[in-house]
Structure 1
Amino acid sequence: MDTEGREALGRSRGGLTSKVHLLADDRCRPLVWLTSPGQRGDSPMFIPLVQTLNLARRGPGRPRTRPDRARGHKAYSSRTNRVYLRKRRIKATIAQPDDQRAHRRKRGRAGGRPPASDREQYRQRNTVERSIGKLKQHRAVATRCDCEDVGVPLRAVA
């Protein structure tokens, strides 16, 4: 069985599982999605997800590959992801997990200051949750079928 291929099936105590990692715009339209085996962590999938973004412009010009802002779940909070976003000048609104916050506080002044957090922007993160809810209505996602056979677009162009 191909666990690293298109199906992205992974073993866990509950059986075979997979995860869907999704980039969506503010209107709940999926822009990019990647799947990974269920036992794999979320944070390592963030950078490949952002690198896959390719939005066509309405007029002439090359496609956009850099979003204005990244809003993410605290599972995507890591130093590597934050450095990547900072280098690409993408504003980030990703909550910091309690263990990272405690580690930073334990280090005292050497721990640095906490990353900026905007509550209003973080509340807008629900667009991704609603977009995933819409995707789950499709049979291809619910049953892990080959998406090209069923007609579910893997990438919607805004």
Structure 2
Amino acid sequence: MRRGELTDSAWLVIAPLLPSPAVRGGRWRDHRQVINGILWKLRTGAPWRDLPERFGPWKTCHERLRRWTADGTWEKILAAVIVHDDGRPVEWVISVDSSVVRAHQHAAGARKKGGSTWSSPPALTGEAIGRSRGGLSTKIHLAADGRGRPLSILITPGQAGDNPMLFPVLEAIAVATGKPGWPRRRPDLLLADKGYAHDSTRRRLRRRGIKHVIPERADTIGRRVQKGSRGGRPPGFDRQAHKQRNVVERCFNRLKQWRDLATRYTKRASIYQASLTIAAIMIWLR
């Protein structure tokens, strides 16, 4: 085992979750060898054709990544390992934020026919590549638990707003409790920055019974002050609790240590989303 590859303990966790060979005849390339090749690619950001020979043919690794992206294998593994991390359960003080990554010129130009398997968020189309101040970019929307571990990750074009993606990110959280019934989705407390400080968002969170700590925007404060007594009382804000929101920033830092994620090179949004999921799996297995 070399640096950055699957440890024996990590392999014991994910091996039963991998699909069995679907090809008749011939020799099926070892799953662990292929996954280590995928991890090397994500860690270095190198082109697929530069994959070292010890991982086998690069086309095999790429095809396995694509196939397991299409059938939902990576999401299944993440759901299974999400509470594996040294036995300590999820901390349900959840922080939400977003981060923009530059899209390399190689990420542009995906074929419109032959389609992507990416299931885009509502009202968004294409391959999650847009234009922001820095040029072509993709935005990562992330929910992290109280220990800075990723619970859900979604991507949009770089110019997309943060607030419209809050509830899709929260709805993407599904943590098995080990008891009969639906997986848990609702946090004990939600922490977010001013990008999510909209009155409609606060009302919707209250209707769902989600406690939240979101600072008030300056323009909202100004309008309320102008109205005087008719402006109502300001929303409650626990400054001490809000300091815990830095865990989501630390989670972004951990994700962007993977060079293939810090800059997007893949054309297909589904593959980039899967790559983020793989990095999240490795964070939970450490």
Normalization by structure 1: what TM-score? 0.87
Q: Does 1:32 align with 2:152?
A: yes
Which one-letter code corresponds to 2:160 in the other structure? R
Q: Does 1:107 align with 2:227?
A: yes
Aligned to 2:243: 123
Q: CA RMSD in A?
A: 2.5
Cα offset, 1:94, TM superposition: 0.6
Match of 1:107, SS state, is: helix
Output the CA distance in 2 between the equivalents of 1:53 and 1:151: 13
Match of 1:124, SS state, is: helix
Cα offset, 1:14, TM superposition: 2.3
Query: Structure 1's 12 and 149: CA in aligned 2 closer, same or farther, altered over 3 A?
Result: closer
Q: Which runs of 5+ in 1 are unaligned?
A: none
Q: Deviations along 1:57-76, whole A, 9 cap, x unmatched?
A: 13443200111111001111
User: Does the aligned pair in 1 maintain the 2:194–2:215 contact within 8 Å?
Assistant: yes
Of stretches 20-29 and 32-41 in structure 1, the one that deviates more from structure 2 is 32-41
Aligned to 1:41: 161
Aligned to 1:10: 130
User: Does the aligned pair in 2 maintain the 1:71–1:92 contact within 8 Å?
Assistant: yes
Output the CA distance in 2 between the equivalents of 1:80 and 1:151: 30
Cα offset, 1:20, TM superposition: 1.2
Aligned to 2:94: none
Which one-letter code corresponds to 2:223 in the other structure? H
Aligned to 1:152: 278
User: Does the aligned pair in 1 maintain the 2:131–2:159 contact within 8 Å?
Assistant: yes
Q: Does 1:141 align with 2:261?
A: yes
Of stretches 74-83 and 145-154 in structure 1, the one that deviates more from structure 2 is 145-154
Q: Does 1:92 align with 2:92?
A: no
The structure 2 residue matched to 1:23, chosen from 143, 156, 165, is 143
Percent identity of the aligned residues?
43
User: Does the aligned pair in 1 maintain the 2:153–2:276 contact within 8 Å?
Assistant: no
Output the CA distance in 2 between the equivalents of 1:92 and 1:37: 26
Aligned to 2:198: 78
Aligned to 2:175: 55
Q: Deviations along 1:23-68, whole A, 9 cap, x unmatched?
A: 0001110001111212121111111111221111134432001111
Match of 2:140, SS state, is: strand
Query: Structure 1's 100 and 68: CA in aligned 2 closer, same or farther, altered over 3 A?
Result: same
Which one-letter code corresponds to 1:152 in the other structure? I
Q: Deviations along 1:110-148, whole A, 9 cap, x unmatched?
A: 211111000111000011111111111123421324243
Match of 2:142, SS state, is: strand
